[in-house]
Structure 1
């Protein structure tokens, strides 16, 4: 099948300005990109008139939690039965695709095989969803972020508890055996569950090294929850591929990140804390409660750190930690606006991070650009996201989603001609 998109303004993913042009898709690949109109033969092609819409690469969420049921508390994950959790995850995958996210890099599954099963179903074509890198649950030390247990009563959230080198090695071997793409380890704590815990390391350096060595030996990628400065350094020393948060990083630690900036990806997940601090009063998070949780301090630290990272050219990606009731699945594009308004990014920079860098974090060399030979993961957006990046938050404005050359969403009647 051959499809020609005409009368579109193209954002190619590199960060360059939009340009009017035409794009041809054959099977699952982009086979031609032309500036201007009328230069590409129409023979044998279905012609789609974009009516001046923006044609751009599909978006990537680098810190996806599609097993999250738009919850209030982490223990709701443990309260969701495995059977229902599969359907939650399937529906969330479809929601993300409708919102323009054609790739998801997971930052932890709620249960060990939930994401693996859904990934496999998507890859087989039996259900609809984005390209998907499935993760382990969060591997957590006793008392660390995600440990929901109490001595008198067992609770569970998104975690696998593993203490000591031997338990960590066994846990990682089990996760890899069950088919995950990436291992997530919580190296630091978090104010969300215990004030002051974001500056704490919940694993020792020896434990982190043992876990990392095992994952590297078996070919699994590593990601981590790292808020404290020391946890960031542990992750860098042990060659973690994706680091989340990192807002306590000192200038010396930023030097370490910059030295390996072509080998790591960083994501602050600013949307979760910003929404919790400013938009969660109906769930009891008043400004006073937000202050007591140190949310405003965390946001200020994040702004300062990521303005510095931008100047250093570090690979920072927008998105993350969506799936709570105050920032539900599918609203992930809010982070684009936060990057502009809080961190000082230009809209084209943010969109390049969400598209071109998306191909890199997914480790798919021909993904994330509108370019000949690249996979046809494409959006048509009713508006100009360079002039108004918030347009991507309106799902109705994303009136066409194509993944791997297949139309997944077409809610606007497009003009076509054989």
Structure 2
């Protein structure tokens, strides 16, 4: 493999990232691009449902500022949830009766923002927040517990949708996905991945890699992962500067190998995603139909033009926070700024920002999320990406929120029922104490995420949310049995199957 390049050929777009992007005034520009996404119907993932929500359950959000992720500005109103889905938005006809009904869980928004749960387009549940090389040595039992904790952390952070980007052990993602859907553990809606596949001369982290050289061996590895029950398949096509032996500018896959991977995965109805930082890896992804392109840092004019022409079939998830944190925030963990800049992270960050600004300008779908779970990109800090999109990539706050909600729902191929506050959609939502359109960073403050609901069930709500206006907290039987904290009423029981038939 050729030594790492120190400079890429010039590109046609503006590359001075220190110059701010002119502000955009008007409706979100990425809605049309997200709506135009058309993955082949044969690649539709299995329709997963999260069990445990009783159909008679009712939740009323009264007097909230509704951010519905359609492009409309927030508006004041009420939202009613019945069972798993939203049944009324804005004007709830019998709202006063519902407020008095002891079987309805009422949350008084007081003007707080109700919005869809967030989504992450590049998720690693199995990353441990430390030394990835040690993950291969970690016992399965300990690793399961770690992964369960990560899944819950996403939901605790307001994330209700995640697209799996690689698993450190081949079945871990699948097992956690199934446990979430069974209602056994808390977590977001999830499309699971297996180990990332790399050539033997191109692995980034050996212990968590599935190896394959050449088209036929790659087909066998993909078939193996399909048999495990994964939803997505990950190719590790380019290097990573932190390895100091495999540059992000080098591509390790051939056209023949990439074409074989796409053919085999699509044959079984599975989409591919790729670690593709290098120029050549990005063009191969577009040329052969890799559905989700991670990073795309060194995209050139050829790749950009190809991607623009095929933009209804591809999504880019840059994981921009990894570059920023590695360059500026890893020193406390032993990786100095000088080291990061020496191996090329400053050069890559500048190239990535310029390229992503151009993608956004051309209407290519760019989605937030990625590579959280490293020591300096810890779990729970996922919403940093949304602020980076605004401050660095030229997105408005509205566009960043659209990408993180409706955009990730489209990536999951469920844009018709996830990612928006609309009638008929699944009730995955968060009540935010503040206005993220005015300050998108508030989504990083877990204390501002006052209520988190997934599948019509309350995952998080503080004690004060249950105290109705001007009513002190009652004891059982007080207030004529109208208070939801301690009502003397029989609620329908959800009986769960005790043993699964294998």
Same fold by TM-score greater than 0.5: yes
1:244 aligned to 2:294? yes
Partner of 1:349: 399
C-alpha distance in structure 1 between counterparts of 2:159 and 2:181, whole Å: 16
Deviation at 1:103, TM superposition (A): 1.0
Partner of 1:404: 455
- Match of 1:189, SS state, is strand
- Match of 2:200, SS state, is coil
C-alpha distance in structure 1 between counterparts of 2:396 and 2:432, whole Å: 19
Partner of 1:153: none
Q: Is the CA contact 1:138–1:146 (under 8 Å) kept in the aligned structure 2? A: no
Partner of 1:274: 324
C-alpha distance in structure 1 between counterparts of 2:113 and 2:137, whole Å: 42
- Match of 2:365, SS state, is coil
Compare 184-193 and 45-54 and name the one that shifted more. Answer: 45-54
Partner of 2:195: 137
Map of 1:255-274 to 2, 5 A cutoff? 255-274=305-324
Q: Is the CA contact 2:283–2:302 (under 8 Å) kept in the aligned structure 1? A: no
Partner of 1:60: 119
Partner of 1:306: 356
- Match of 1:359, SS state, is helix
Partner of 1:179: 229
Deviation at 1:77, TM superposition (A): 1.6
Q: Is the CA contact 1:400–1:412 (under 8 Å) kept in the aligned structure 2? A: no
Map of 1:206-221 to 2, 5 A cutoff? 206-221=256-271
TM-aligned CA distance change 1:235 to 1:349, over 3 Å = same
Partner of 1:49: 108
Q: Is the CA contact 1:64–1:105 (under 8 Å) kept in the aligned structure 2? A: yes
Q: Deviations over 1:10-56 (max 9, x none)?
A: 11112332211111111011111116x88745334432101221100
C-alpha distance in structure 2 between counterparts of 1:341 and 1:111, whole Å: 35
Partner of 1:17: 73
C-alpha distance in structure 2 between counterparts of 1:70 and 1:85, whole Å: 12
Q: Work out the number of aligned pairs and report it.
A: 408
Partner of 2:13: none
Deviation at 1:399, TM superposition (A): 1.5
Q: Give the unaligned 5+ runs of structure 2.
A: 1-56, 469-482, 485-502
1:76 aligned to 2:134? yes
Partner of 1:370: 421
Map of 1:87-106 to 2, 5 A cutoff? 87-106=145-164
C-alpha distance in structure 2 between counterparts of 1:34 and 1:137, whole Å: 44
Partner of 2:87: 31
Structure with the greater alpha carbon radius of gyration: 2
C-alpha distance in structure 2 between counterparts of 1:385 and 1:277, whole Å: 27
State TM-score, norm by structure 2. Answer: 0.79
Partner of 1:394: 445
- Match of 1:121, SS state, is helix
- Match of 1:85, SS state, is helix
Q: Deviations over 1:139-160 (max 9, x none)?
A: 0111214253xxxxxxx1x211
Q: Is the CA contact 1:106–1:135 (under 8 Å) kept in the aligned structure 2? A: yes
Q: Is the CA contact 1:145–1:190 (under 8 Å) kept in the aligned structure 2? A: no
C-alpha distance in structure 1 between counterparts of 2:295 and 2:440, whole Å: 23
Map of 1:313-324 to 2, 5 A cutoff? 313-324=363-374
Deviation at 1:79, TM superposition (A): 2.3
- Match of 2:194, SS state, is strand
- Match of 1:222, SS state, is strand
Equivalent of 2:333 in 283, 304, 324: 283
C-alpha distance in structure 1 between counterparts of 2:139 and 2:252, whole Å: 28
C-alpha distance in structure 2 between counterparts of 1:394 and 1:412, whole Å: 18
1:123 aligned to 2:181? yes
Q: Is the CA contact 1:3–1:25 (under 8 Å) kept in the aligned structure 2? A: yes
Q: Deviations over 1:286-308 (max 9, x none)?
A: 22112112111111011100110
Q: Deviations over 1:274-319 (max 9, x none)?
A: 0111112112222211211211111101110011011011110111
C-alpha distance in structure 1 between counterparts of 2:212 and 2:97, whole Å: 59
Q: Is the CA contact 1:303–1:342 (under 8 Å) kept in the aligned structure 2? A: yes
C-alpha distance in structure 2 between counterparts of 1:196 and 1:222, whole Å: 22
- Match of 1:387, SS state, is coil
Compare 78-87 and 174-183 and name the one that shifted more. Answer: 78-87
C-alpha distance in structure 2 between counterparts of 1:33 and 1:301, whole Å: 43
Map of 1:107-118 to 2, 5 A cutoff? 107-118=165-176
Deviation at 1:195, TM superposition (A): 5.6
Equivalent of 1:5 in 61, 81, 91: 61
- Match of 2:175, SS state, is helix
Q: Is the CA contact 2:202–2:246 (under 8 Å) kept in the aligned structure 1? A: no
Q: Give the unaligned 5+ runs of structure 1.
A: 149-155
